[in-house]
Chain A
Amino acid sequence: MTNPLLARFIPEARDLLESSSSGLLALEKAPDDARTVNEVFRAVHTLKGSSGLFDAPALTKLIHVAEDLLGAVRADKLALNPDIVDDLFAAFDQVGAWIGYMEETEVLPPDADKVSGTLSRLLRGHLAVENSGDAAPQTPAATAVDPSARAKWLALFEAEALADARAALEKGRPVTLIRYAPAANAFFCGSDPLNLVLNTPRLIAVEQQPAQPRKPLAEFEPYQCDMVFTALAGESEDEVAAHLRYEMELVTLCALRPEHLAAETAEAGPAAEAGPAATAPRHVALARTIVANQIRALSGADYAAEGVSAAASAVARLAASLRRLDWAGAAIAAANEANAQASTAPALALLRQIDADLATFDQTAQPAAAPAAPAPAPAAPNAPRHEPPPQTAAGAAPADKRETAKHEPKKTLRVDQGKIDLLMNLIGEMIVSKNSLPFLAKRAEDVYGSREMSREIKDQYAIIDRLAQEMQAAIMAVRMLPVSDVFDRFPRLVRDVARRLGKEVELAVEGEDTAADKTIIEALGDPLLHIVRNSLDHGVESAEERRAAQKPAVAALALRAYQEADSVIIEVEDDGRGVDPARIRAAAIEKGVITPERAAQLSDADSVNLIFAPGFSTAQQVSDLSGRGVGMDVVRTTIEGFGGRVHVASTPGKGTLTRLILPLSMAVTRIMIIDGAGGEYGVPMDMIVETVRIDRARIHRVKQSEAFILRDQLIPLARLADLLGQPARAKAEDEPEAVLVCRVKGRMLGMVIDDFRIGMDVVLKPMEGIVAGARGFSGTTLLGDGRVLLVLDLKELL
C-alpha cells in the first residue's frame, strides 16, 4: 500500500468497528447503559472522523448515518430494538467489507455509493419513525416515486424549464427529476445544499421552497437549514446519484419519460408561482404581527409556563432585532412575574405596551449603522427547549470533546510482529547463554581451584539471571494477548447464528482475561468458530424441542478460558442434545473411518472423539453453517499444529463439552533438572508442587503400588526408573528417597527420583526427527555446557 495514512487507518478502523460491534451487542442486552452507548458512539464518531481523510465518501456517509442513529439513542430519543441493531450490524459489516477492499485497492468498490445510500436509508428509516411525532417534515424514504408527488414537483417548474426538459428527452437524452430535502442540521454537518444542487451536472432548472412556512427574519435561525430543492438535470439517474452521493438518503430521484412531462404540464397548466409575491418586508410591521400573535396565543389560553416563556423569548428576539434592549429586560421581568402569579396578565400587559410602542415606532430615530448587538438577547428564564441559540450548541461541542478525551483508550504502539519475534528469539538465546555461567563457576572452582572467582561469577550470574527473567517476562507480556481478542467476536456470532436458526441461546463468557501468546490466540479463532457453530447447529435444540425435554427454552452456551500449568484451556460447553456415541460409531463405520472390530472396542468417551477423524460428519443435511464434514477435522489439525490437544466429552441429552488445550507460550519454560533413571531430565517447574526427602520406612506398599503420607494426605508414588524402563541407581538402605510431588491432571502424585538439581529457564524445542515418536517427553533443550536435556511430559508418563 502506497498511502501510509491509509495503512494506519485500516487497522484502526477494524479495531473501532470491533469495539462498536461488541458495544452494540452489550447495548442490546442493557439498552440503558449510558457508558456503553457513549463508548459505541465515540468509536463510531472517531471512525467517521478518520475516514474523512480518504476519498471514501460512501463509507464516511454510512458511518455518519450510523452515528446519527447512535446519537439519537444516546440522547434517549430512540430506543434500540433488534431490528435497529441488525441494521447497524449490517452497516458495520459493510464498512468492514469496504475496509478490506480498500486495503487491497485503496479505493471503494464502484457500487459503494449505491450500497451506502440503501443502507443509509435503512438506518435513517429508524430515525424517521422516531421523529414522526415532530413537526419536521421528513421526506419519505421511498425508492419509487409516486406519480402524484412527481406531478406536484414538476408543477413547480416554469414552462420554459419543462420545455427544455422535453426537448432534451426528445433528443434521446436522459432527464432526471431531483427532489432534495436537506436535514435541518445540514450546515452543522458542513454541507451546502444550495451549491450542491447548483453544481448538479447539466442542471436544467431548479426551484426552492422553504421546508416550513418561512418565518420572519426576527425569528429566523440562520443555522437551521430550511429549504427543499426540486431540480431537473439532463443527466442519467446514476450520474446525478454520484453527484449527490453524500446526501443520497435525503434525495429522491426519478428518471423522467416524455409522457410524464406531457401529462403533467397539461394538468398543471401554467406553472404556478412558488410563493405569493409579497411586498417588501417591513420590520415594524413584522414585529407587530408577532406581538399580535403572541397576544392572541396568551389571551386565548389559561396560564401555562411554556406559553409565557415562548412569548418572552419572542419579545427578546424582537428586542434584539429592533435594538430595544429595554424590552428584553421587561420581557424577563414580566415572564418572572407571570410565573410567580401563575397568570398571563403581566405578560399580556407587556405585549400590549410593546404593541403600542411599535405603532409609534420612530424608524428614523434608529441609526442606520447601529453597532452590532453584542449577543443575541438574553434568553427568557425558562426559554423553550426547541430554540437553543446556535452559539450554545457550538460551544457545547468542545466541552463534550474534552470529556470524551478523558475516556480515550490507553496509548498503544503498533509494531511489526517480526520485530517482537526477533526480540523473543534473542532473549531465548540469552537465557540459554546465561545458563552457561553456573557451569563456568563450577569450572573456576574445580579446574582452576579458585573458590573466590567461582563465587563472584555466581554473584554476577544472579544479577544477569534476574534481569534476563524480567526482560523475558516483559517481552512475553508484549506478545501476550487476552483471549477476549478471540472471544469478543462470539457474542455477535452466537446472536446472529441463533437468530438465523430460530434458536434461543444465552452465551456466557468466562475468563476472557486469560492471556496467551499471540500466535496461540490467533490460531484459536477458526477452530473455536467451528466448534461454536457446531454446537449451535447440531448441539442446541429448538425451543420447542427443549421444552419437550423439560429443559429451559433458552439454551446455555458457555465459552470458558483458564490457565492450567503451561497451558491455556478453552472450553465450549452447551446444554444441548449431546452426542450419541452409538450413532457416532455407526457413522464412523459407515464412512470407513474405523473398522467395526475397532469400533466395538472403543469406549463411549473415545467414540465421541471420533468426530475429529478426517472425513467425518454426522449432519443429516449440509447446512450453510457447519456440517460439511471438514469442520472438526480441521479443528484438530490446527490445534495439534500448535502443540495443543482437543477433546470432547458429551452426555446424551445433557450437553457437550469441547476442551481445547493449548500451550501458553511457544517461548521460555522454567524447568527443574533432576537426576534419575540413569541420567538427567528436566521437569516443567509448574507441574512441581514441592520436593521432599522421605525415609523409606514411610513408604507404604499397597499391593503393587506405593504411596506415602504427606501432611495427612495419601500420595501415590511412582518411580521414574520404572516409568522409563531404566535401572534405578543403587542406594544405601538408610538413604532417604527424593520425591518430586507433582500435580498431574488435578491429582497429587509423588515421583521417586535419584536427586534434585537446579532450576533453569530453557527454550523448549519440540521432539523432532527420529525422536518425534518417543513418548513421555515434551521436548528437548540445550544446556549451558552444550548437552541436550530431555524434558519429561509428566501427564503422559503418569
Chain B
Amino acid sequence: MPIRYEDGIVRFVDHCAIEEAVELAERLAVEPMPELDLSECGVMHSALFQLIAAARPKISGWPQEAHLTHLLRKATGGVTD
C-alpha cells in the first residue's frame, strides 16, 4: 500500500494514486485528524492533493519535490521556508 495508515499518522510512500482518495478522505474525517508524513512520497495524485488541501492536516514530513512541497505548504496554511 502506497499510503500506510498507522496509529495517528498517515504515511505516503512512493507513488500515491487516485485509488487511495476515498480511503484517505475517510481517514482524514476521523477526530483527531491524523498527521501526514509525506517525506517518502514521490508522486501524489491531484485528488489526494485536493483532499489534503481541504482537510489541512498537520504535516510532519514534507515531500522531496520542491514544487509539490511549496504547493502543499500554501494549500495547508503551513509555513513556507
Contacts and interface: CB of A to CB of B under 8 A. Distances in A.
Interface of A: 158, 182, 186-187, 192-195, 198, 203, 205-208, 210, 214-218, 220, 222-223, 225-227, 273-275, 277-281, 283-284, 320-322, 363, 366, 368-370, 372-373
Interface of B: 5, 7-8, 18, 21-26, 28-33, 43-47, 49-51, 53-58, 65, 67-68, 70-71, 74-75, 77, 80
A370 B47 CA distance: 23
A372 B23 contact: yes
Contacts of A182: 46
Contacts of A192: 18, 45-46
Contacts of B24: 222
A198 B64 CA distance: 13
A515 B54 CA distance: 64
B39 to A, nearest CB: 17
Contacts of A215: 54
Nearest to A188: B18
B68 to A, nearest CB: 6
A372 B43 CA distance: 25
A283 B25 CA distance: 13
A369 to B, nearest CB: 7
Nearest to B71: A208
A283 B31 contact: yes
Contact of A284 (B31, B44, B50): B31
Contacts of A281: 33, 55-56
Contacts, number: 112
Prevailing SS type, chain B contact patch = helix
A279 B77 CA distance: 8
Given A192-B45, A194-B45, A225-B47, A217 B54 contact: yes
B43 A195 contact: yes
Given A278-B56, A281-B55, A283-B31, 4 more contacts: A158-B80, A208-B75, A217-B28, A369-B5
B75 A275 contact: yes
A214 B54 contact: yes
A363 B32 contact: yes
Nearest to B30: A370
A42 B73 CA distance: 44
Contacts of B55: 217, 220, 281
A521 B20 CA distance: 56
Contacts of B22: 222
A321 B28 CA distance: 9
24 contacts: A194-B44, A195-B45, A198-B68, A205-B67, A205-B70, A206-B67, A206-B70, A208-B49, A214-B54, A217-B29, A217-B55, A218-B29, A222-B22, A225-B46, A225-B50, A227-B46, A227-B49, A278-B77, A279-B77, A280-B58, A280-B77, A283-B29, A322-B29, A369-B7
Contacts of A373: 26
A124 to B, nearest CB: 20
Given A192-B18, A283-B31, A187 B47 contact: yes
A182 B50 CA distance: 13
A448 B70 CA distance: 106
A215 B50 CA distance: 11
A222 B30 CA distance: 16
B30 A369 contact: yes
B67 A203 contact: yes
A186 B26 CA distance: 22
A195 B56 contact: no
Given A193-B46, A218-B29, A368 B7 contact: yes
Contacts of B50: 210, 220, 222, 225-227
Contacts of A194: 44-46, 49, 68, 71
A744 to B, nearest CB: 74
Contacts of A158: 80
B18 A187 contact: yes
Nearest to B57: A280
Nearest to B5: A369
Nearest to B28: A217
Contact of B56 (A223, A280, A366): A280
A222 B56 contact: no
A363 B58 CA distance: 18
A655 to B, nearest CB: 63
Contacts of B71: 194, 206-208
Contacts of A278: 56, 77
Contacts of B54: 214-217, 220
B25 A222 contact: yes
Nearest to A231: B67
